[in-house]
Amino acid sequence: MKVRSEVSALSDAKENAVAVFIFQDKKGLAQQIAALGKQLGEKLQAAVSLKDFTAKEGELLSLYTEKPIASPRLFLVGVGETEKVTLEKLRRAAATAAKTAQSMKVGSLGIEFPPLTLLPHSIGSSAADVAQSIVEGAFLSVYKYDKYLTPDAEKKRLESLTLFTAEKKNFNEIQTGARFGEIISKAVCHARDLQNAPSNEIYPETLSFDVQQTAHDYGFKATIFDQRKIESLKMGGLLSVGKGSNHPPRFVILEHIPAKGNGKTVVLVGKGVTFDSGGISIKPSANMAEMKMDMSGAAAVVGTFQALAEMKLPVHVVGLIPSVENMPSGTAVKPGDIVRHFNGKTSEVDNTDAEGRLILADALGYASKFKPDVVIDLATLTGACVVALGHLATGMMGNDQATMESLKAAGEKTYERVWQLPMFDEYEKMIKSDVADVKNTGGRWAGAITAGWFLKKFIGEYKWAHLDIAGTAILEENMDYAPKGGSGVGVRLLVEFLKNWEKK
């Protein structure tokens, strides 16, 4: 989808449909009715009087226009009460407009930038954030993974989105925000495509090719380690999980070198299990297909690099993607096996389905090479995290409260919310092994936390946060601006985190 921003009055916008956000309470509504001009203002007034449209969140009224409005259709989109409007409500309103446009086979949509004076102080100060959010909501809501569907001539995609404003005053900010929104949304959709791609298309080798191509297209570095190189580095976790599959493992290193950095380095680690059958400790067949998305952490890292390279963020970021396919076979790793990881520590494989932590252990050890200030890993790590938080929040653990607070703030702003889980010392003994330094399972309870504790055993001398995205990455139902399937979670969160990181 093409995104533009322009200075234009509502009446001059030429798109096939134009959307105006309407505020529910008297203050906002009166202003919006006046702004619509005589005829349309009267129509809105009538709709409100008849209670056909109340400007509640999620409501949309489609009107056919008359002169002097150039566009044939006008969408009035409710955003609720003026004082309660948030960036997230704007994303959702934009999503409602875009989805309606697409279902009406309208190829181009204009959205009027809402009057900043009506927005609450908390968000009203930044026209760029508002513009970015509107673009995100619209862009992300019309995503569909349709690569393998025979094209349907009846359907029409929304091809262009224009954010317009009659006031010149904030136009530069609006343009910048809209551009960021476009870059970030494109990156999120790339992450979604990687997640949704079936595992007969995306396996470690092809995942690494995609990273290489993306690096080439967007201008960051990518280095791929093949099985032999991984062997020479003694990454035992990656080798043991990978050895049950006909697709050999890969370890991919991404690097974004800014023109002018602040001398600090962030390392992002993404779990890249391209299919998780469970291995010898095989999973039940119900929902096993979802496990093609067990590389969602890797997808988030790739998407983040794409966006931060295109945005030219002034921060040095390294990405690490350990990638394997977890399969049962005669050569597969077995319960009871003992693995030696990159940093020399050993782990007992109690359950071959707890494979993510085994490969992340190698990557977290390798991260030390870059002398990072902070390391953030993203992984669809535990079903227990989904049980605890559902699909609405990412589980977070770590060793540095300030880093976690920054992630929380980025989560609130982007609405990719994170929720901290405790890492009490007492949990550590649940993963004690009699025969190795650590065991890869911690029993039935607190599964997300014992997984976090396992990772903690492998981190180096750096600040660290772990994000368990098992619930937020894989959606079982459509959300406001994310259809069922891969959500691309992590991209918007990390870009926001990195945008602020530069200021430290």
Active site residues: 283, 357
Stretch of 153-161, 311-319, 354-362, 475-483 lying at the interface with ligand BES (CB under 6 A): 354-362
Residue 53: strand, helix, or coil:
coil
Name the residue whose CB lies closest to Mn ion. 353
Give me the least distance between CB of 463 and ligand BES, in Å please. Answer: 25
Q: How many residues does the chain have?
A: 504
Check binding of 416 to Mn ion (CB under 5 A). no
Check binding of 386 to ligand BES (CB under 6 A). yes
As a whole number of angstroms, the distance between CA 460 and CA 45 comes to 63
Check binding of 382 to ligand BES (CB under 6 A). yes
Residue 263: strand, helix, or coil:
coil
Distances (CA, A) of 249 to 225, 226, 233, 261, 379: 9, 7, 13, 32, 17
**351 contact, one of Mn ion, ligand BES, Zn ion, none, CB 5-8 Å limit per kind:** ligand BES
As a whole number of angstroms, the distance between CA 382 and CA 393 comes to 13
Choose between 179 and 357: whose C-beta lies nearer to ligand BES.
357
As a whole number of angstroms, the distance between CA 188 and CA 304 comes to 8
Stretch of 32-40, 68-76, 350-358, 444-452 lying at the interface with Mn ion (CB under 5 A): 350-358
Among 15, 276, 290, 377, binds Mn ion (CB under 5 A): 276
Residues in 272-301 at the binding interface with ligand BES, rule: CB under 6 A: 276, 294
Among 28, 80, 356, 490, binds ligand BES (CB under 6 A): 356
Which string of b and e fits 185-199 if b means at least 16 CB within 10 Å? Answer: bbbbbbbbbbbbbeb
As a whole number of angstroms, the distance between CA 421 and CA 397 comes to 6
Name the residue whose CB lies closest to Zn ion. 276
DSSP state of 216: H
Choose between 279 and 411: whose C-beta lies nearer to Mn ion.
279
Check binding of 350 to Mn ion (CB under 5 A). no
- Count residues near ligand BES (CB under 6 A): 17
Radius of gyration of the chain (CA): 24
Among 162, 175, 196, 380, binds ligand BES (CB under 6 A): 380
As a whole number of angstroms, the distance between CA 327 and CA 322 comes to 16
Choose between 310 and 468: whose C-beta lies nearer to ligand BES.
468
Q: Which residue in the block uniquely carries the two structure tokens 């190189």?
A: 229
Among 59, 112, 210, 353, binds ligand BES (CB under 6 A): 353
Choose between 135 and 421: whose C-beta lies nearer to ligand BES.
421
Check binding of 353 to Mn ion (CB under 5 A). yes
Residue 235: strand, helix, or coil:
coil
Burial of 425 (0-12, 13-18, 19+ CB in 10 A): exposed
DSSP state of 368: G
Judged by the rule CB under 5 A, the positions of this chain that interact with Mn ion are: 276, 353, 355
Judged by the rule CB under 6 A, the positions of this chain that interact with ligand BES are: 276, 294, 351, 353-356, 380-384, 386, 441, 447, 470, 474
